[in-house]
Amino acid sequence: MNGLLILIPLALLFGMGGLVAFLWSLRAGQYDDPDGAAMRILIDDDEGPRG
């Protein structure tokens, strides 16, 4: 029972930390272009192999 007195506030603290990190990443623009990387992999390079 005494463990719950430590674990519940710790879980709430970690949850709030995750929420703050998620909101920070939204404001920083981490999710602005979710399709860009998927489309860039399909672009062919016109240059031949270097060497």
pLDDT tens, residue by residue, 1-51: 889 999 999 999 999 999 999 999 999 988 888 777 778 777 776 665 665
Q: E strands, the chain, where?
A: none
Q: Give the tokens for residue 9.
A: 């506030």
Helix (H) or strand (E) holding 19: helix 2-28
Q: How far apart are CA 12 and CA 17, in angstroms?
A: 8
- At residue 51, the pLDDT reads 55
Whether 39 is in a domain gets the answer: no
Note whether 29 and 23 are within 8 A (CB). no
Per the domain annotation, does 38 fall within a domain?
A: no
Does some domain include residue 11?
Answer: yes
Asked whether residue 48 is assigned to any structural domain, the reply reads no
In a domain, 14, yes or no: yes
Q: What is the structure's pLDDT at 11?
A: 98
How many folded domains does the chain comprise?
A: 1
Residue 33's identity, in one-letter code, is D
Domain hosting residue 16, numbered range: 2-29
- The answer to whether residues 31 and 25 touch, using CB atoms and an 8 Å cutoff, is yes
What pLDDT is recorded for position 47? 65
pTM of the predicted model over 0.75: no
